[in-house]
Structure 1
Amino acid sequence: MADDQLFEDLPEQDKPLPKGRGAVRLREPERRQMSMQVAALDDLVGDDHPVRAVWSFVEGLDLSALYDVIKAREGEPGHPPASPKLMLALWLWATIDGVGSARQLDRLCRDHLIYRWLCGGVSMNYHSLSNFRIAHMAVLERLLAQGVASMVDAGLVSLDTLAQDGLRVRAGAGAGSFRRRPRLDELKTAAQTRVERLRFEVETDPAADDRRRRAAKERGARERAERIAAAQERMKELEAERERREKTNKKEVAKQKSPRASTTDADARVMKMADGGWRPAYNTQIVSAPEHQVIVAVDIDTSGSDRGLAQPGIEMVHAEGYQPSNYLVDGGFTKNEAIEWAHANGIKVWCPPAQTKHGTDPYAPKKGDGVGVADWRERMKSDDGKAFYRLRCEHECINAHARRMGLRQLSLRGKIKARIHLLWFAVAHNMMRFFALHAKAQAA
C-alpha cells in the first residue's frame, strides 16, 4: 500500500508485449519546442543557386540614372530609400518566379528565404515596390537595348533574321466593366456629383480624423471619375474606327453591336483568346532573334488582330538601330503593301500566303503583284523557303516562357503600364538567355 501511494501520480505503464513485433517508434513533429539557430543568410543559399547569378548581373549594370534621382544625401535630412540595385534585382527575380503583385512580393520578402537573401535585412513595403516597378520605363528600355547589343558584340546572337508574333494577355479589367456611351454619360455625371459633395464635406467638417477619411473617399471618387472620362475618350476612338470600317464593309458592321469601353481599364479591348473565348486583353507584340530566342523589341497593341502589324514591327526594329535581312511572321500579319515596303527597304518578309476561298493556288502570281510580292510568292513556294520559315517556330518558346513567368493576366492597368510589365518580362527573359548562351559558349 505504501508503494501504491508513493507512485500513484505516475502515468500507467503498458505491460511488456509478447514476443514478436514491438510497438511502432516514430519521430513526431514538436512545433512548440524552443530552439536557437545561428546562421548567416548567405550560408543558407547554395553557391550554385540562380539568384546569385541574378544579383551578379544587376551589380554589373550601369544604374546611375536611378541613383541620380535619389534625394537622400549625406548631410541632408530624409529617410534613405532601398537601393535601386536591390529593387531591380527583386523585380527581376520575381518576374522569373512568376510573381506579378507588389503585395505578394512584399510578403515573400518577409517569409521566403531567397527573397530574404536578396533583401539582406532591408525592410520592404508594397508601396515602394509598386512605385519602383512602374516609374522607370526608360531605364527598362535602355537595359533591353544594351543587353541585346552586348550579346551581339560577344558573338552570342545574330540579328540578321528576326521574327515577330503576337501574344494576347488577359487585362486587369473585368468583363462586366464595359459600358456603352449612354451608360458612360450617366456614370460620369454621378461621379462628378459625388466628388463635389465629398469635397464640400471635407472643407466644412471640423473633425480632422473624419476629414482625412473623407479626403480618401474624395480621392477615390475623383480617380473613378478620371477612369470614366478616359473610357469616354476611348469610346470616341472606337466610334471613329467603326465609321472607317463602315465605309468598306457596311453590311458586316451593321450586324455588330455598338462599341463598349471599360470603366476600369479604358485601353483594354475584348479579344478572342487562344482557347476560343472572348476576354478583355492586350495584344502584346514581341520581336525576337528566333535562333537564339532573344527578345529584341516589344510593344503593346489594342486591336484584336495582328493584321497589318508587320510594318510597324519592322519600323520599331529600325528605330532601335537593327537592320535585319529576313523577317518572319505569321500568315495573319500579311499585307501586300507591307511586303512591297519591306522589299524596297532590303528586307525579305517570310510568311505563308492566305488560303483563297476558291481553292486556287495561293503561290500563283496575280495580276496586281509588285516586284516584292512576286518574289515573296516564289520564295515561299520553294522547298528551301518552307524549310527556312520553320525557324519561326523557335519563337514559340518565348511565348511559352512568358506564360510560365506569369504573363497570363496583367495586374497593371493601362496601355503604358502593360508595356512596362512586358518590358520587365523581356529584360528578365534576356538575362536568363544570356546565362544559357554564355554557358554554352564557355562549354564549347
Structure 2
Amino acid sequence: MKTRARVLLPNRGQMEFRASDLESLLPAGHRARLVWAYVERQDLTRFYAGIRAVDGGVGRAAIAPEILLALWLYATLDGVGSARAVSRLIESHDAYRWLCGGVQVNHHTLSDFRKDHGEALDELLSVSIASLMAAGVVKLRQVAQDGMRVRASAGAGSFRRHEKLEAYLEAARGQVSRLKAELEADPAQAERARQAARLRAAKEREARLEQALSRLPEIEAIKQRQGKKAAEARASMTDAEATVMKMGDGGFRPAYNPQLASDADSLVIVGVEVATVGSDQGQLVPMLEQVTARCGQAPDAWLVDGGFVGHEQIERAAEHTVVYGPVPAPKDKTVDPHQPKLGDSAAVADWRQRMGTDEAKAIYKRRAATAECVNAQARNRGLLQFRVRGLAKVKCVMLMFALAHNLMRMAALAPELLGIGTGASTIPGIGA
C-alpha cells in the first residue's frame, strides 16, 4: 500500500505572543512619519483652546489635537473620509496604530474634531502657504481656479417642494411635542434614556426641515433665472444646502461645487471655497479676494475656464490681476471674438485683445495642467462623495484635503520645512 506523505499543515488557532513596540511597526520612510513630522511642527494653539482639562484640575485628559489632526491627514492621503472607517483602521492598521501611540480614539471624537475646527484648519492652511512662500516655492505668478462637483450625502428622493416640506415640518413639530410630554411623564430611567434619544432624533429632523424651508427662496430665485417656474424649486430634507447639479457624466445628482485655486509653478493649493450652485459664474472674484487676503498679495495672473468669465467679474478682477480665460465664440462666425465690442469696458476690451495673442494662449495652457491635475489628485484620494452633511462640514473636509495635498507638495519641494531626518518622525527620505 502507498504510504501517506507526512507534511506540516497550518494551525491558525494557536496563540502567539510577540514582543514589539509601536515604533518598530513602520519603516523609517513611511508616509505616517511624514505626516507626524508636519503636525509636530505646527502651532496648534487654536485646537487646544477648547480643551478644559488642565494640570492640577479635575476631569479626564483630552486626546491631543496632534493625534487627531495626524489621523485625519493620513486618512485623507489614504483615501479614507469616514470617521467610522478611520476608527476601524486604528484597531487593525499599523500606520494608524503608530499615529495613535496607544491612545484610544473613537469615531465620535474624530468626527467632532473635524467639524468643530473649521477656522483653525483654515488658519493652518494659511500658515502652510506662508511658509512655502517664504521658502520660495509658491511665487503666485500664475494661479488657476477650477470647480469640481462632488456628490452630496443626500439622495435624489429626499427633495420636496414647499407644500410637502410644510406638512412634514408640522408633523415633526407635533412629534417633538409628544415626545417631550412622554419624557416628562415617564419615571423609568431606562425608558427615559430611550425617549431622550428619540426626542433628539425628532428635534434634528425638525431642524433639517426648517433649514430646507429657509433655503427654498434661494432655489426659487435660481429657477427663475433659469427661466423656470419658482414652484418647481425643491430642497432636500436630508441636507438642505445640497443642490441638484449636472455632473461630469451628464447625470443630475445632489452635490456641492468645491472651488480650488492652485499655484501653477508648485501645484500648491492657495484657496479653498465651496459653492452650493452648479455654475462657476460669480466664483472668480470671491476666490481672488480670498487668495489675496490669505497670501498678502494678488497673483500676477489668474487662469480660469469659460465657466468663470463674465464681464462684471473680469472688470472687478482686473483691478488686482490679469485674467486669462477663453472668449466665447460669437454666433456670427465672421466676427472676430478678440476685437473689442461697442459697450465693452476697458478691462473687458483688454481681455478680448489679450486672449487673441500667442503669448496669452501659451499662458492659458497652464490652466489645465494645474487645475485638472490638482482635481485629479483629490479624486484619487477619495473625493467622490462627501460623507458629511451641511456646507460648514463640507468646507472642513475640503480644508483637510488642501492641507494633505500641500503637505505632500511641501515634502517634494521644501522637505527642510518638515525637518526630514530629525525629530520623532525619523524620516531619512520621502517614502510611501
Do they fold alike, i.e. is TM over 0.5?
yes
Matches within 5 A, 1:318-357: 318-320=292-294, 321-343=296-318, 345-357=319-331
Q: Secondary structure at the match of 1:164?
A: strand
C-alpha separation between the residues in 2 aligned to 1:275 and 1:30? 50
Q: Does residue 1:150 correspond to 2:125, yes or no?
A: no
Q: Does residue 1:416 correspond to 2:397, yes or no?
A: no
Q: Deviations over 1:182-219 (max 9, x none)?
A: 10011011101111111111111121111110111011
Matches within 5 A, 1:254-265: 254=229, 258-265=232-239
Q: Which amino acid in 1 is paired with 2:313? A: A
The Cα shift of 1:346 comes to: 4.0
The Cα shift of 1:347 comes to: 1.3
One of 208, 214, 226 as aligned partner of 1:227: 208
CA contact (8 A) 1:291 1:391 kept: no
Q: Which amino acid in 1 is paired with 2:365? A: R
One of 378, 395, 403 as aligned partner of 2:353: 378
C-alpha separation between the residues in 1 aligned to 2:183 and 2:313? 57
C-alpha separation between the residues in 1 aligned to 2:287 and 2:205? 34
C-alpha spacing 1:374/1:26, structure 2 compared with 1 (3 Å): farther
Q: Deviations over 1:145-166 (max 9, x none)?
A: 0101100101112112111100
One of 58, 70, 87 as aligned partner of 2:39: 58
The Cα shift of 1:316 comes to: 1.8
C-alpha separation between the residues in 2 aligned to 1:414 and 1:397? 27
Q: Which amino acid in 1 is paired with 2:119? A: A
Q: Secondary structure at the match of 2:382?
A: coil
1:274 matched to which residue of 2?
A: 248
1:38 matched to which residue of 2?
A: 19
Q: Deviations over 1:76-129 (max 9, x none)?
A: 211111111111111110111111111111111111111011111111111111
Q: Does residue 1:363 correspond to 2:350, yes or no?
A: no
C-alpha separation between the residues in 1 aligned to 2:195 and 2:312? 57
Percent of aligned pairs sharing the same letter: 47
CA contact (8 A) 1:160 1:323 kept: no
Structure 2: gaps spanning 5 or more residues: 421-428
C-alpha separation between the residues in 1 aligned to 2:262 and 2:336? 31
1:388 matched to which residue of 2?
A: 363
Q: Which amino acid in 2 is paired with 1:117? A: W
Q: Does residue 1:131 correspond to 2:106, yes or no?
A: no
Q: Does residue 1:436 correspond to 2:422, yes or no?
A: no
C-alpha separation between the residues in 2 aligned to 1:85 and 1:223? 31
C-alpha spacing 1:26/1:113, structure 2 compared with 1 (3 Å): farther
Q: Secondary structure at the match of 2:154?
A: coil
Q: Which amino acid in 1 is paired with 2:81? A: G
Work out which of the two has the higher radius of gyration on C-alpha atoms and give 1 or 2. Answer: 1
C-alpha spacing 1:346/1:116, structure 2 compared with 1 (3 Å): closer
Q: Which amino acid in 2 is paired with 1:332? A: G
Q: Which amino acid in 1 is paired with 2:245? A: M
2:165 matched to which residue of 1?
A: 184
CA contact (8 A) 2:135 2:414 kept: no
Q: Does residue 1:310 correspond to 2:291, yes or no?
A: no
C-alpha separation between the residues in 2 aligned to 1:384 and 1:236? 45
Select the structure with the greater relative contact order (CA < 8 A; seq sep ≥ 6).
Answer: 2
CA contact (8 A) 1:181 1:232 kept: yes
C-alpha separation between the residues in 2 aligned to 1:27 and 1:171? 53
TM-score (ref. length: structure 1): 0.89
Q: Does residue 1:112 correspond to 2:97, yes or no?
A: no
1:167 matched to which residue of 2?
A: 148
When the two structures are aligned, how many residues end up with a matched partner? 416
CA contact (8 A) 2:161 2:231 kept: no
CA contact (8 A) 2:261 2:287 kept: yes
Q: Deviations over 1:299-323 (max 9, x none)?
A: 1111110122212221222232231
Q: Deviations over 1:12-65 (max 9, x none)?
A: xx6359xxxxx6x87643211222211112112101111111111111111122
1:4 matched to which residue of 2?
A: none
Q: Which moved more, 1:129-138 or 1:372-381?
A: 372-381
One of 381, 384, 402 as aligned partner of 1:426: 402
C-alpha separation between the residues in 1 aligned to 2:416 and 2:340? 45
CA contact (8 A) 1:167 1:285 kept: yes
Q: CA RMSD in A?
A: 2.0
Q: Which moved more, 1:355-364 or 1:373-382?
A: 355-364
2:425 matched to which residue of 1?
A: none
C-alpha separation between the residues in 2 aligned to 1:314 and 1:258? 34
C-alpha separation between the residues in 2 aligned to 1:198 and 1:171? 31
Q: Which amino acid in 2 is paired with 1:435? A: A
Q: Which amino acid in 2 is paired with 1:429? A: H
C-alpha separation between the residues in 1 aligned to 2:220 and 2:362? 44
C-alpha separation between the residues in 2 aligned to 1:327 and 1:399? 17
The Cα shift of 1:133 comes to: 1.0
C-alpha separation between the residues in 2 aligned to 1:301 and 1:36? 53
1:20 matched to which residue of 2?
A: none
C-alpha separation between the residues in 2 aligned to 1:300 and 1:428? 17
C-alpha separation between the residues in 2 aligned to 1:47 and 1:318? 39
C-alpha separation between the residues in 1 aligned to 2:416 and 2:111? 36
C-alpha separation between the residues in 2 aligned to 1:26 and 1:325? 73
C-alpha separation between the residues in 1 aligned to 2:282 and 2:112? 35
TM-score (ref. length: structure 2): 0.92
